Structure 1
Amino acid sequence: MQTLDALNITLRSYLNTEQANHVNRAYFFAEQAHYGQQRHSGDPYVSHPLAVAGILADMHMDHQSLIAAMLHDVIEDTGIEKSAIGEQFGPTVAELVDGVSKLTQMEFQSLEEKQAENFQKMALAMAQDIRVILVKLADRLHNMRTLGVLKSTKARRIARETLDIYAPIAARLGMNTVRLEFEELGFSALYPMRARRIDAALRKSVGHRKELVEQVRHQIEVTLEQEGHEICVIGREKHLYSIYRKMKSKHKSFSEITDIYAFRIIVDSVDTCYRVLGCIHSLYKPVPGEFKDYIAIPKANGYQSLHTVLMGMHAVPIEVQIRTQEMEDMANKGIAAHWLYKTDSQSSTSSHARAREWVQGLLEMQQRAGNSLEFIESVKIDLFPDEIYVFTPQGRILELPRRATPVDFAYAVHTDVGNSCVACRINRRLSPLSEPLQSGQTIEILTSPGAQPNPAWLDYAVTAKARSNIHHFLKSQTLDDSVALGRSLLDKGLMDFGTNLANLAEDRLWDFLSQQHYENLDDLLVDIARGNRLPVFTAQQLLSGLEEDPLQQHHDSVQPVAICGTEGFMVSYARCCHPIPGDPIEGYLSLEKGVVVHREQCKNLTDIRDHNERQIALRWDDNVEGEYSAELRVEVENRRGMLAVIATRINSMNVNIEKISTEDKDYQFTYVTLEMLVHDRVHLARVMKRLRTINHVHKVNRVKN
C-alpha cells in the first residue's frame, strides 16, 4: 500500500518544497473529507486517492495533477463543493477535480447509457485540460489493481469497460505501460481461466527458448559493439492479452504466436538508429515488407521507433525495435513523459499537440452525435486504428486507419472537403470513392460546390470523423424533409375540414402547441411526419371549436396526398410490391419512418386497413420525378449466355439493374428475377415489350408481391 512517506520521497526527487507541501496539504484535506469512509477491502478510503497520486508521481506529473488526484472523489463522495476546493487550492485544481468527478447519480435507461454519459462528460473536461484524462487513467488503474475485493459480476463489468475504453485511450495517448497493465488486469478479471492457461504455457515456452534467446541477444550485442555503437539490448516480453488477441484474430495456435523472438535496442541518437538498422540487416536477412519507419512518420500518439523483422538462425523470425532513450520514455509514458519540461522537448510538445488535436476531434464528434451511445460508438471506432499513411497532392502526410477510403481521406483533410466530395484520383488515376487506400498513395479529392454527402458512403467510410459528419448531414436533411412532409400531411388533414395551415388563427395554433408541450411548429410537423401523431386527429384537435363534427366531415371528403418523388427520407416505397408512378397507391403512416407507399392491391395492406387511422389516401403527382424500383420475373429456356443477353438488352435502354437472380423451374426452363429502376409504368411496359422480343424468352411478368 502507498504511504505518504513513500510518496514524499518521490515528490522530493522532482518537485520543489513548496509544491510538495501543497500536495501534502491536499492529502490531509482529503483525509478529513473522507473521514469514516472505507473501501470494499476495509482500508480507509483516503488510501485510494493517495495511491492514485502515487501513480501520477511515478510519471513525474506536476503538483496540480497530484492535488487533483488527492481530491478527485471529494466532490462526489463528501459534502464539499467545487467552490471550497477552489478557495483552498485555486481554480485550476477545482476545474481538474470537477472534470475527473463522475456524473451525479442519474437515472439512465441502461448501464451502457450511464457509462456513455460518463465518458461524454470526461471528453468535454479533457478538452479544457488534458490532465483530466491522466488523473482519470491513474484512478482507473488503482481500481483495477484492487479489483479482487469486488463481486465477480461487478469486477467483470469494470474490466470490460477498461478493455473497451480506457486501455485504448492510454494507447492513443502513447502511455504504453499503463495500457499493458490495463490489458493484463482486465484480461485476468474477464477471462481468469484463459489467462491462467496462457500464462502457464508462456512460462513453459520461455524455459525452452531461453538458450536461443541468449544466443541471439549476444550475437546482436557483439556485432554492434564491434561497429563502435553504445547500445542496450532488451528482450521484449510477450503479454498475455496480446497473445490471446492474436490467437483469436489470426486463428493461430499458441506455439505459432510465441514462435517470434522480440528485442528492443536503445541507442544514443536518431542517426545511430539508422546505422544500427544497417548493421542488423547485415547480420540477419530482413523479411521483405516488414520494415516500418515510425521515426520519420510518427504514429498519431507520438510514438517513434524503427521496426524490422529478420530471419535469424534456425529460420526463427526476430522482431527488432530500434529507438533512442527519449523515444523509449515517450513510448512507455506517452503524453505524461516530461510533462514538467514539455517546453524543452520538441517530441513531447508534438505529443501534447497530437493529443489535444485528438481531444478536439472528440469534441467535434460529441457535438454532432445524436446521443451519448452514438458518440461512444464513434469513439470506439476512433480508438482502434491500424494505421496507413497517405499523401495529399502537396506532400502532406495523413494518417488513417486500415481499410480507410477516399471518403475518410476527404473528411480528414477538412469537413467541407468531405461534404462536397464527388470523385477522387489515387496516384493520378480516377478511382471509386469506395476503394480502400494503401500506404504511400497520393490522394486527390475532386469537389463540387453543389455536392452533398451520399448515404451510401456509410457502407464504406470507417473513420469516426467521416461517419459522424455524414450522419449529421443526413439527420439535418431528414429534419428538413420531415418538416416539409409534416406540413403537407397536416395541410391535407386541415383541407378535409375546409381550411389549411396558412388560414389557421395564430393564437389558436400557439395555444395548441403550448398545450401539447411543443416549443415550435416544426417540432409538431416532425412528429406528424414520423408517424408519432396522426394528421387527421391533430387537425381535429386544432379545430375542436367547430360546430360540425370534423371527424364525420373528414370521412365524407378524403383528399389524397400527392407524391412527387422529391419528398426525401420521410417517404419510402414498399419493397413488397414496388409501387411506381402510374400504379394506384395507398399509404401507411409508420412510426419513426414517415409515409410508406404501397400499391393499392398489395396483400400487406390488408393488415394496415385494420388500423385505418394510420392509412393515408395517396396519388401520384402530375409532375412526378425520379426513378423507382420495379421487379420482373422472366421465364427463359436453359441456354448458355441467356443472362448476358437479357442484361445487355436492358442496358441498351439505359435502365439500371439493381439486382438479378436465377431459379431453376425444371430441366428446360429457368426463372430470372430482375430488380431495376424505371420512371413509370409506361417505361416499364417498354422494357417488358423489349424483353419479349428476345429468342427463347417465354414469359415476362411484373412481380406483384
Structure 2
Amino acid sequence: MDDICGLIARVRSYHPTTDTDLIRRAYAFGKEMHEGQFRHSGEPYITHPLAVAMILSEQRLDDSTIVTALLHDTVEDTRASHDDLARRFGKEIADLVDGVTKLTKLQLNSRETKQAENFRKLFMAMSRDLRVILVKLADRLHNMRTIKSMNPEGQLRKSRETMDIYAPLAGRMGMQWMREELEDLAFGVLNPEGRQSIIRRFITLQREAGDVIDKITSDIRVEMDRVGIRGEVLGRAKRPFSIWRKMEEKRIGFSRLSDIYGFRVIVATEAQCYAVLGAIHQRWRAVPGRFKDYISQPKSNGYRSIHTTVSGRDGKRVEVQIRTRQMHEVAETGVAAHWSYRDGERVENPFAVDPAGWISSLTEQFDVGADHDEFLEAVKLEMYSDQVFCFTPKGEVVKLPKGATPLDFAYAIHTRIGDSCVGAKVDGVRVPLWTRLRNGQSCEILAAEGQRPQSTWMDIAVTGRAKSAIRRSLREEDRARFIRLGRELARVAFDGVEKRMTSKALSMAAKELHLPNGDELLARLGSAELETRRVIEVLYPDLSDRRGDEIDAHAAIVGLEPDQTFQRADCCQPLPGERIVGITYRGQGVRIHAIDCPTLVELDDEPERWIDLQWHSGNHPAVHTTTFDMTILNDAGVLGRICSLIGAQKANISDLKFLDRKQDFYRLVMDVDLRSIEHMHAVKLALESDSDVATIYRVRDPERRP
C-alpha cells in the first residue's frame, strides 16, 4: 500500500479530517480489479487511476472526487459493477464512476452526425454533477502526459480529440493551466517540429537577452514597493503552443512576436489590484486595446483578474495579470473551486461559482427542440470562445463571444428584437450589422415592425443563439414553399425506386431521422438540408439487395486488386459506359477518373500511379451522382415538372441548390443519381426538350479535387 501513502498525505495536507480508510479501500479495490492489466508503457494499470487522483488532489478536491478517480475505470474495464461500487462505497461515488464510464464511451470527436447527440449527453452529464467532468479531464491529462507509449495512430487520434474537445472545455471551466498543458502536449504530437522550433528560439533568446523574467519581475516589485503594496510577483514564458497560435493568428515570425512573457501579481485586496495597475501604467506605456477588467466584469465561470499589456524593459511587450489571492485560487481551479477544501473545511471563496448555475447559464440558450446540428454548432461556438462585454443604452451588461456583431447583441437581448433589427449604433455612431464589437462598447439596436431576418444574416451572426433563431425564422418563412418543393422531390425519389409516397411512409422516415413529423421532413428536402437519397435509405435499406440483376455498386470496376478500394473522382464524376482510368492515392485507395478528365494532365509525369480499369458490363444501379447546371423559367409548376421528367426516367434527385434567383429565370445545380452514361443522355435529352429549360449542361469541374 506504499503507493497510496503519497496521495493520502497530499489530501490530508488540505483536508486533515479526510476519510483515509475510504481512500485506502478504494485503492485496494481498484488494484484488485485491475490485477493483470497493464498500460501501453508496461506499468501496472493501477498507476493510472492513482495518477489521476493525484492530479485532482492538487486542486484540493473532496474525498468523493478522489475516490471516483481511483475507481473511474473499474466498471468499464473490469468485472466490477455499479451495484458493487454502491454497496462498497455508497451511491454518490457509484453514480460518479458511472458518469465517467458513460463519458469515456462517447466519441466526442466523431465526424458522424451522432457527434451532436454525444455533445448533448456530455452537457447532460455535466448538469448532473460537474465532478464527472473534472475526473475525465484529469484522466485525459494523465493520458496525454504518458502518450508517447501509445502507437503513432493512437497518439494522433487522442491529440486531435484533446485539442478539439478537452482543452477548450478545460478553458471554459476556468482551468486555464490545464487547458494550456493539454494544448501543449497535443501540439507536441500533432506538430513536433513546430514545437521544437519555438523551444529552440526561446533558448537562443535567453542566451542573447539574459534572464528577462527575473529582470521584469524585479522591475514590477520596485513599482509595488514605491506605492507601498506587498504581494507576490510570478513570471513565466508562455507555452510553445500559445506562442505558435499567436504567430499563426497574426501571421508573423517569432522575431516579431513581442508578448511572449506573462507576469502575475497577487495582492491582498481588490483596491490594491487597481493601485498596482496604476503603478505599472505610470512606469510603462500601456498597449492600446490590450486592457481587460475581469474584476468589474467577471467571466461566467467566476474568473476575475485585471489584464494589461505594456511596453516593458527594452520595449518588449509584457502581459501582466493582477488579482487577489481568492481570485487567483478560482483562476487556477475554475468551476472546481466549488469543491475545494482547506484545513478540513470547504473553502468559502466568494468568487467560486455555483456549478449548477454555471451549467444553466451555458446551456440556457440552447433550444431543446433544435436539431442536432444546430445544438452542436451552438455548443462549439459558445464553449470555445472568449467573451466581450457590451452595454445596452440603459447600462445593462451583455456577454458575447469574441467577434460578435450587433446582430448577436440583438438576439442576446431577445429573439423578437433580433428578428426586427434594421440597424445598430455603437457608441452613438451608426455602424453596419457586421461590425465586430469590442469590450466596453455601448450598442443600441434599431428595430422596425415588419422586418424579417435575411438569409445574409447567417454569414454575419456569430453566436449559436443568433444563428439558430435566424435559421428557424427563415425556415418558417419559406416553410410552405419548401414543403411543396420537398413533396415533389420526394414523389420523384419514391417513383425512382418504384414505391408509393404516402403520409405514413413520410412519417416513418421522419421518425427514423429524428424529425418531428412528415411536414418537417418535406421542408428539409425542399430547403436542400436533407437529401432524398437519405429518406429512401432509411425506409428501404435492403432495396439494393432485392435487385438481383443489378451489379453491386461496390464491385462495379474491373481491374482492381482484391484489397484495393475505389471512389469516383469528384472532378469528373465518371459514369458506367465511359472510358476510365484509376489513379492511386496513398492511404486513400484508387480514385476513378474519366479518361478525358482535365485533372489527369497534372499526373502525366507519374505513370506509376495509373491503373487501366473498366466498368463491369451489365445493369448498374442508379447510384452514380452526376451534377447538372441548368437555367429554368421562373414560373409556377416549372420546377415540379422538371422533377417529374427526371423521375419518369427512373433517376433520383439527391440534392438541389439555387445559385441565382431572378424575376424571370432561376439558375440551379442539381445532383441526379444515374445508372450509366446512356442514362445521363436520356435524362439530359428529356430536360433539353422542355421549352422552359433555357440551358443545361453536365458539371465537370477540375477545381473539385479528388
TM-score scaled by length of structure 1: 0.69
Q: Contact 2:23 / 2:67 at 8 angstroms: preserved in 1?
A: yes
What CA distance in whole angstroms lies between the structure 2 residues aligned with 1:53 and 1:132? 13
Q: In the alignment, what sits opposite 1:591?
A: 654
Q: In the alignment, what sits opposite 1:154?
A: 154
> What is the one-letter code of the residue matched to 2:466?
A
1:191 Cα deviation from its structure 2 partner: 1.6
Q: Does 1:336 align with 2:399?
A: no
Match of 2:363 among 351, 360, 365: 360
1:40 Cα deviation from its structure 2 partner: 1.4
Distance 1:30 1:610, change over 3 A: same
Distance 1:353 1:271, change over 3 A: farther
Residue range with higher mean Cα deviation, 447-456 or 51-60: 447-456
Q: 1:180-329 maps to which residues of 2 (within 5 A)?
A: 180-210=180-210, 213-257=213-257, 261-329=261-329
Q: In the alignment, what sits opposite 1:66?
A: 66
SS of 1:97's equivalent? helix
Q: Contact 2:107 / 2:118 at 8 angstroms: preserved in 1?
A: no
What CA distance in whole angstroms lies between the structure 1 residues aligned with 2:23 and 2:225? 46
1:527 Cα deviation from its structure 2 partner: 9.0
What CA distance in whole angstroms lies between the structure 2 residues aligned with 1:85 and 1:387? 41
What CA distance in whole angstroms lies between the structure 2 residues aligned with 1:252 and 1:66? 44
Residue range with higher mean Cα deviation, 24-33 or 238-247: 24-33
Distance 1:612 1:517, change over 3 A: farther
Structure 1 gap segments, 5+ residues each: 495-499, 502-507, 536-573, 621-629, 632-705
What CA distance in whole angstroms lies between the structure 2 residues aligned with 1:60 and 1:108? 28
Q: Contact 2:657 / 2:669 at 8 angstroms: preserved in 1?
A: no
Distance 1:607 1:307, change over 3 A: same
What CA distance in whole angstroms lies between the structure 1 residues aligned with 2:234 and 2:108? 49
Distance 1:418 1:130, change over 3 A: farther
Residue range with higher mean Cα deviation, 212-221 or 579-588: 579-588
Match of 2:633 among 556, 579, 586: 579
1:9 Cα deviation from its structure 2 partner: 0.4
What CA distance in whole angstroms lies between the structure 2 residues aligned with 1:367 and 1:217? 53
Distance 1:491 1:14, change over 3 A: closer
Residue range with higher mean Cα deviation, 170-179 or 258-267: 258-267
Q: Contact 1:2 / 1:47 at 8 angstroms: preserved in 2?
A: no
Residue range with higher mean Cα deviation, 298-307 or 273-282: 298-307
Distance 1:616 1:386, change over 3 A: farther
Residue by residue over 1:235-289, the C-alpha shift from the partner in whole angstroms, topping out at 9 and shown as x without a partner, is 2222111111112221222222256554322211111111122222222333344
1:8 Cα deviation from its structure 2 partner: 0.6
What CA distance in whole angstroms lies between the structure 2 residues aligned with 1:512 and 1:281? 67
> What is the one-letter code of the residue matched to 2:320?
V
Structure 2 gap segments, 5+ residues each: 495-499, 536-627, 645-652, 671-677, 696-706
Match of 1:345 among 321, 341, 349: 349
SS of 1:346's equivalent? coil
What CA distance in whole angstroms lies between the structure 2 residues aligned with 1:266 and 1:594? 58
Q: Does 1:396 align with 2:396?
A: yes
> What is the one-letter code of the residue matched to 1:283?
R
Q: 1:425-444 maps to which residues of 2 (within 5 A)?
A: 425-428=425-428, 431-444=431-444
Residue by residue over 1:395-433, the C-alpha shift from the partner in whole angstroms, topping out at 9 and shown as x without a partner, is 111222333112211222244543454544434555543
Match of 1:610 among 682, 685, 692: 682
> What is the one-letter code of the residue matched to 1:168?
P
Q: In the alignment, what sits opposite 2:457?
A: 457
Q: Contact 1:164 / 1:380 at 8 angstroms: preserved in 2?
A: no
1:192 Cα deviation from its structure 2 partner: 1.8
Q: Contact 2:243 / 2:260 at 8 angstroms: preserved in 1?
A: no
Q: Contact 1:425 / 1:445 at 8 angstroms: preserved in 2?
A: yes
What CA distance in whole angstroms lies between the structure 1 residues aligned with 2:96 and 2:41? 27
Let me know the Cα RMSD of the aligned residues: 4.5
Q: In the alignment, what sits opposite 2:54?
A: 54
Q: Does 1:370 align with 2:372?
A: yes
What CA distance in whole angstroms lies between the structure 1 residues aligned with 2:281 and 2:218? 16
1:478 Cα deviation from its structure 2 partner: 6.6
Distance 1:595 1:279, change over 3 A: closer
Q: Contact 1:60 / 1:338 at 8 angstroms: preserved in 2?
A: no
Q: Contact 2:12 / 2:18 at 8 angstroms: preserved in 1?
A: no
Distance 1:17 1:225, change over 3 A: closer
Distance 1:422 1:77, change over 3 A: farther
Distance 1:434 1:281, change over 3 A: closer
Q: Contact 2:506 / 2:518 at 8 angstroms: preserved in 1?
A: no
Residue range with higher mean Cα deviation, 168-177 or 194-203: 194-203
Distance 1:445 1:20, change over 3 A: farther
Residue by residue over 1:511-567, the C-alpha shift from the partner in whole angstroms, topping out at 9 and shown as x without a partner, is 9988999897648866986773899xxxxxxxxxxxxxxxxxxxxxxxxxxxxxxxx
SS of 1:577's equivalent? strand
What CA distance in whole angstroms lies between the structure 2 residues aligned with 1:233 and 1:614? 79
Q: Contact 2:127 / 2:356 at 8 angstroms: preserved in 1?
A: no
Q: Does 1:387 align with 2:384?
A: no
SS of 2:234's equivalent? strand
Q: Contact 1:389 / 1:397 at 8 angstroms: preserved in 2?
A: yes
What CA distance in whole angstroms lies between the structure 2 residues aligned with 1:123 and 1:603? 40
SS of 1:122's equivalent? helix
Q: Contact 1:420 / 1:453 at 8 angstroms: preserved in 2?
A: yes
Aligned length: 569
Q: In the alignment, what sits opposite 1:681?
A: none
What CA distance in whole angstroms lies between the structure 2 residues aligned with 1:278 and 1:513? 67
1:10 Cα deviation from its structure 2 partner: 1.4
What CA distance in whole angstroms lies between the structure 2 residues aligned with 1:60 and 1:174? 15
> What is the one-letter code of the residue matched to 1:355?
W
1:304 Cα deviation from its structure 2 partner: 2.0
> What is the one-letter code of the residue matched to 2:359?
R
Residue by residue over 1:164-201, the C-alpha shift from the partner in whole angstroms, topping out at 9 and shown as x without a partner, is 21111111111122112112211112222222222122
1:327 Cα deviation from its structure 2 partner: 2.0
Q: Contact 2:247 / 2:254 at 8 angstroms: preserved in 1?
A: yes
Distance 1:226 1:476, change over 3 A: same
> What is the one-letter code of the residue matched to 1:360?
T
Q: Contact 1:26 / 1:71 at 8 angstroms: preserved in 2?
A: yes
Q: Contact 2:62 / 2:340 at 8 angstroms: preserved in 1?
A: yes
Q: Which has the larger radius of gyration?
A: 1
Distance 1:474 1:88, change over 3 A: farther
Q: 1:99-110 maps to which residues of 2 (within 5 A)?
A: 99-102=99-102
TM-score scaled by length of structure 2: 0.69
Q: Contact 1:57 / 1:66 at 8 angstroms: preserved in 2?
A: yes
Residue by residue over 1:141-182, the C-alpha shift from the partner in whole angstroms, topping out at 9 and shown as x without a partner, is 011111011011210111121112111111111112211211
What CA distance in whole angstroms lies between the structure 1 residues aligned with 2:292 and 2:387? 11
Distance 1:229 1:317, change over 3 A: same
What CA distance in whole angstroms lies between the structure 1 residues aligned with 2:25 and 2:427? 61
1:227 Cα deviation from its structure 2 partner: 2.8
> What is the one-letter code of the residue matched to 1:179?
R
> What is the one-letter code of the residue matched to 1:587?
I
Q: Contact 1:263 / 1:321 at 8 angstroms: preserved in 2?
A: yes
Q: 1:473-488 maps to which residues of 2 (within 5 A)?
A: 473-474=473-474, 481-485=481-485
What CA distance in whole angstroms lies between the structure 1 residues aligned with 2:183 and 2:107? 30
SS of 1:123's equivalent? helix
Residue range with higher mean Cα deviation, 424-433 or 63-72: 424-433
